[in-house]
Amino acid sequence: MRVAAEGNVVLSPAAARRLIAASSDRQSTRERARELAASLTERELEVLAGLGEGLSDAQIGERLYLSEATVKGYVSRMLVKLGCANRTQAACWPTTPASSPAEASHPQPRDTARAC
């Protein structure tokens, strides 16, 4: 009671176990997502960034000086590599500012990437 009265959070052992388990699941999902993203080529990462911005294949092609058909090919290969059913799921893998050069070359997915 004193601990709670001092403003600290008190959890039952069962709640604490569920919280730790959920945290572990999220960690393993993020690790799996990073491994999948690491399998992408530099060009695929550029196309993925365009998907994350909501660009069409034609717009991505204009930006990267590629034909629309070439972009579609990259998107198809990325869907397979990432295990995504469609481009909307792949768009959940945006490139983000990274804290290290190694992370800069591979995007870190949002938690919504679990849908892939």
pLDDT at 76: 94
Position 29 confidence tier, pLDDT thresholds 50, 70, 90:
low
Q: What is the CATH number of domain 41-116?
A: 1.10.10.10
Whether the CB-CB separation of 72 and 55 falls below 8 Å is answered with: no
* Higher local confidence (pLDDT), 112 or 37: 37
* Higher local confidence (pLDDT), 37 or 68: 68
pLDDT at 8: 64
Full-model pTM:
0.59
Query: Please, is 19 exposed, middle or buried when counting C-beta atoms within 10 Å of its C-beta (0-12, 13-18, 19+)?
Result: exposed
CB atoms within 10 A of CB 69: 9
pLDDT at 10: 67
The domain ranges of the chain are: 41-116
